[in-house]
Amino acid sequence: MVISMSERTITCCIALVVLLLISLCISGCMTTQQPSANGTAANVTSASNASTPVKELLVATTTSLYDTGLLDYLAPIYEKQYNTHLKITSQGTGKAIDLAQRGDADVLLVHSPSDEVTFMENGNGVNRRSFAYNYFEIVGPASDPAQIKGLSPEDAFKKLKADGANNTANVAFVSRGDGSGTQSAEKKIWKNAGFDYATQIEKSGDWYVEAGKGMGETLQMADQKQAYTLTDEGTFLAYKGNLTLIPVIIKGDSLLNIYSVMSVVPKNNATASITAANTLATFLTDNTTQQLIADYGKDKYGKGLFSPMNATMAKTFKVDNSAPLNATTPAIVFQAGSLATPFKAVKSIFEKDTTGAEVELFSGSSITMIEKVTKMGEKADIVASADADQISRLMVPDNASFTLNFARNAMVLVYTNNSTSASTITKDNWYSVLGQDNVKLVTSDPTSDPGGYRAYMTLVLAESYYKVPDLFKKVVSDHSAITVNKTGANTTIDLTNPKQDNKGLLIPNATGPTYLDLLTSGKADYALVYRSSAVDAGLPYIELPDEISLANLSMSKDYALVQAKTPSGLIPATPIVYGLTIPTRAAHPDLGVAFIKALASDQGAAALNKSGLAPMTPMTATGTVPDSLKSLVSTT
């Protein structure tokens, strides 16, 4: 049969229509198959949409989130929901952070809190939220040649180091050695165990091997060598079917492993989109995704590879999992530790009234926070010190032009119901109780924290006020290298190198338990601290007389008879006045102004009062105050 041209045309058209319909049916039924930890697949319809271009999001992540398959499981769900393709680069936390700092990532997913804080302090990120956690484990041969089973992580590391140094047969440790979050956790355990990693552990012998690889490959290497290693439990569960290693130590505070997401603040990267980055952070903290994280791996391993970061656990771990996550600009605040609670309330006031910005609060001793600006060049938008004079002394004029004095405080003696003589101590006999041989006093670090050097100033003033000439010796000098030198009516306390015995006198370091941790755990009986710290902690305390509490502005001359010699210079005793400034190199000075206005509001004053601080309304000032803040400052 001969088909005419018109018939052929009609036939071809019909065929094309049929083919098109078949194609549409097939594409409509197609799904993206993602393997999951339970052996099934997450069936998710393709994210492509002909009418809306697909966006791309660059994600830098730690290997454990990738090696476990969690991101492969979650990615298609996110991509469908937000019409955004995830381009994921998996490597150790250190390298992932480097990528983000260079502008080669839009989102960061890592698990090294100390490195994350440094990243955020420098204004590189915003909306840092914790979305999951699990625990590190020390795994090793079933025979446990180092006999560390049942020990704490720190004691286990001490035993491994000792056996390794003695060339004990079959004892070896494989480290990630790649700057990852896992290696960061390992270094922290070594430090807690009393070792300097760089000089005592790294390259210390054949027993200590640095893999320089991801977690999965490190586990395989340790298995081949029948060595111990530190791993996150998620990756170990994902690989255990191919390993002979077993978990040896699974309990210990230092084994907590928290995963966080943060949006990278765009710099020179044209593909970066902080708005899109915020959608991934929102997705990971959403209740639906949190349930997916909780269930991931249960069918295959009998337990989830990760635990979701719900509100209860976030409060327990003292991390942030809050919503919404809409901010595009960070306002960086360096604060004295005693301001943590009231400034958290001020943060809420600020964010309610300031669109597009989120306050990032970073706490530490006042001098340490000041030196992050003056010595390390970090660009905070606010620096707030528990000693206003330190801003004038250490920051003005090179790093700031003014100091605003905004609150007052007082020294008190805080304790717990379990403290020695807690049932009999009063405002009239507290100094006698401190002088008892079995009583342990704790203070913050006097070399960097105003609360620390003020504690010792208080004791010198108490010695004179109560006419007890050996009080300071009994309480302090007999338990440390801290001395006093009296010249007439003046006293100088040498705090340059305390060398406390950690028996009668305890001074915590920056990375260990805080003075309140030592007090509430029973390792110390009493602490000389700010009233606000006692109020925030909800602990009983003894109010001290004005003559020694450093609370009375009219007693400045009396307080000034005492001074402290510290690594940063001579510091006279003064009434406790808190101060703040906007550094001259602040990235967002306008946000600094907005934060100060939130602090000066009625709500801000209420937050200070609630924490036991006395707000100064109006504020007082030294230096050249910006015009935008002059209305908040007393003109008298």
* Residue 192 located in a structural domain: yes
Is the predicted pLDDT of residue 58 greater than 90, yes or no? yes
pLDDT, position 22? 35
Region 313-318 average pLDDT = 94
* Single pTM value for the model: 0.86
Tokens of 209: 């091997």
Domain boundary among 256, 278, 307: 256
pLDDT, position 270? 38
Is the predicted pLDDT of residue 48 greater than 60, yes or no? no
* Residue 17 located in a structural domain: no
**Which pLDDT band, with edges at 50, 70 and 90, does 629 fall under?**
very high
pLDDT, position 25? 35
Domain boundary among 219, 238, 256: 256
How many Cα atoms occupy the beta-carbon half-sphere of 127 within 13 Å? 30
pLDDT, position 268? 54
Assess whether 215 and 305 both reside in one domain.
Answer: no
Assess whether 448 and 462 both reside in one domain.
Answer: yes
Assess whether 245 and 153 both reside in one domain.
Answer: yes
* Residue 141 located in a structural domain: yes
Percent of the chain with pLDDT over 70: 90
pLDDT, position 142? 97
Assess whether 37 and 74 both reside in one domain.
Answer: yes
**Which pLDDT band, with edges at 50, 70 and 90, does 513 fall under?**
confident
Task: Count the domains in the chain.
Answer: 4
Assess whether 88 and 148 both reside in one domain.
Answer: no
Assess whether 419 and 499 both reside in one domain.
Answer: yes
Assess whether 448 and 531 both reside in one domain.
Answer: yes
Assess whether 200 and 349 both reside in one domain.
Answer: no
| Full DSSP string of 485-542 | EEETTEEEEE-S-----SSSEE---TTS--HHHHHHTTS-SEEEEEHHHHHHHT--EE
pLDDT tens sequence across 144-168: 999 999 999 999 999 999 999 999 9
pLDDT tens sequence across 9-35: 333 333 433 333 334 333 333 333 333
* Residue 624 located in a structural domain: no
pLDDT tens sequence across 546-586: 999 999 999 999 999 999 999 999 999 999 999 999 999 99
**Which pLDDT band, with edges at 50, 70 and 90, does 37 fall under?**
low
Domain boundary among 515, 549, 572: 572
**Which pLDDT band, with edges at 50, 70 and 90, does 622 fall under?**
very high
* Residue 622 located in a structural domain: no
Q: Measuring CA to CA, which residue among 556, 554, 528 is closest to residue 542? A: 528
**Which pLDDT band, with edges at 50, 70 and 90, does 271 fall under?**
very low
Q: Measuring CA to CA, which residue among 507, 447, 451 is closest to residue 476? A: 507
* Residue 323 located in a structural domain: no
CATH number at residue 549: 3.40.190.10
Coil, helix or strand for 273?
Answer: coil
Assess whether 244 and 220 both reside in one domain.
Answer: yes
pLDDT tens sequence across 586-618: 999 999 999 999 999 999 999 999 999 999 999
Assess whether 546 and 520 both reside in one domain.
Answer: yes
Percent of the chain with pLDDT over 90: 85
- 633: which strand partners? 619
**Which pLDDT band, with edges at 50, 70 and 90, does 49 fall under?**
very low
pLDDT tens sequence across 350-392: 999 888 899 999 999 999 999 999 999 999 999 999 999 999 9
pLDDT tens sequence across 405-431: 999 999 999 999 999 999 999 999 999
Q: Measuring CA to CA, which residue among 369, 361, 367 is closest to residue 342? A: 361
Structural domain of 128 = 33-133+257-317
Measured distance CA(630)–CA(190) in Å, rounded: 51
pLDDT, position 38? 47
Assess whether 143 and 62 both reside in one domain.
Answer: no
pLDDT tens sequence across 390-399: 999 999 999 9
Length of the chain: 636
* Residue 626 located in a structural domain: no
pLDDT, position 355? 84
**Residues with Cβ within 8 Å of residue 630, at least 6 apart in sequence:** none
pLDDT tens sequence across 202-248: 999 999 999 999 999 999 999 999 999 999 999 999 999 999 999 99
Assess whether 41 and 74 both reside in one domain.
Answer: yes
Region 513-526 average pLDDT = 95
Print burial letters for 358-381: b (CB count within 10 Å at least 16), e (below 16).
Answer: bbbbbbbbbbbbbbbbbeeebbbb
* Residue 1 located in a structural domain: no
Mean pLDDT of the chain: 90
Is the predicted pLDDT of residue 348 greater than 60, yes or no? yes
Is the predicted pLDDT of residue 285 greater than 80, yes or no? yes
pLDDT tens sequence across 319-328: 999 988 989 8
Q: Which amino acid is at 353?
A: D
